[in-house]
């Protein structure tokens, strides 16, 4: 199948799908067709589609679970006005817990509590699991066998990441302080006793 015929089919599939599509998934949709494209043909057509959307309000984005067609973040303000429902707001505690899991995984609830200095509610962990951002990776081999938590592909997809390597470094996060003082990343200073 030639690229010019394949690209509109891929666009239709990406627009209709409610989740990212992998090259393998797309390839399987053509099984049995007389003009079945190869995986390299699909990759090439996807590359051409990505270029097509460079000067558009849409983008073809590759995330952990595959490819998806999405609105560019620059147009989020206007697109969000289509829905009356406000996006969910998450507490600082929930986001801190999620960040600790993302950066320190696998991590136990007790280790999160030690770092944050406060207890982690079971509702917070439940919320993260219901959003499918966090999952149990097993149990730590210590007394009590606490659950080890880690992030999921859905976490990567939601935050527009292909892998955890795309998370900003802690140094980059600290640099945000100079641009957004309200997000200041403070460290506890040690005091000496005289």
Report DSSP letters for 91-147, one per residue: -HHHHHHHHHHHHH-SEEHHHHHHHHSSPPPHHHHHHHHHTTSEEEEEE-SSTT-PE
For residue 182, pLDDT over 60 is answered with no
Question: Can you give the pLDDT at residue 60?
Answer: 94
Q: Would 3-81 and 92-167 be classified into the same CATH topology?
A: yes
DSSP secondary structure string, 143-180? TT-PEEEEE-HHHHHHTT-SSGGGSPPHHHHHHHHHH-
pLDDT tens across 15-29, in order?
A: 999 999 999 999 999
In 3D space, the residue among 97, 109, 117 whose CA is nearest the CA of residue 145 turns out to be: 109
Task: Please give the CATH architecture assigned to the domain spanning 92-167.
Answer: Orthogonal Bundle (1.10)
| Count of residues in the chain | 194
| Domain locations in the chain as residue ranges | 3-81, 92-167
For residue 187, pLDDT over 70 is answered with no
Question: Can you give the pLDDT at residue 178?
Answer: 53
CB 134 within 8 A of CB 149: yes
**What's the whole-number mean pLDDT along residues 90-101?**
90
84 DSSP assignment: S
How many Cβ atoms are within 10 Å of 41's Cβ, its own excluded?
16
What is the maximal distance between C-alpha atoms in the chain? 85
pLDDT band at 126 (very low <50, low <70, confident <90, very high): very high
Task: Please give the CATH architecture assigned to the domain spanning 3-81.
Answer: Orthogonal Bundle (1.10)
């Amino acid at each position: 199948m030639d690229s010019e015929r394949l690209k509109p089919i891929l666009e239709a599939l990406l627009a209709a799908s409610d989740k990212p599509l992998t090259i393998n998934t797309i390839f399987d949709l053509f099984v049995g067709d007389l003009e079945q494209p190869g995986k390299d043909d699909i990759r090439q057509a996807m590359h051409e589609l990505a270029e097509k959307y460079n000067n558009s309000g849409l983008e073809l984005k590759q995330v952990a679970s595959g490819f998806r067609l999405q609105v560019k973040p620059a147009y989020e303000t206007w697109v969000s006005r289509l829905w009356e429902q406000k996006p969910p707001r998450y507490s600082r505690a929930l986001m801190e817990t999620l960040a600790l899991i993302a950066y320190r995984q696998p991590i136990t609830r007790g280790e999160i509590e030690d770092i944050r200095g406060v207890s982690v509610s079971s509702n917070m962990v439940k919320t993260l699991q219901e959003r499918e951002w966090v999952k149990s990776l097993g149990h730590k081999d210590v007394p009590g066998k606490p659950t080890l938590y880690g992030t999921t592909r859905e976490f990567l997809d939601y935050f527009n990441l292909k892998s955890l390597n795309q998370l900003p470094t802690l140094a980059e996060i600290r640099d945000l302080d100079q641009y957004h003082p309200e997000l200041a990343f403070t460290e506890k200073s040690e005091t000496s006793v005289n």
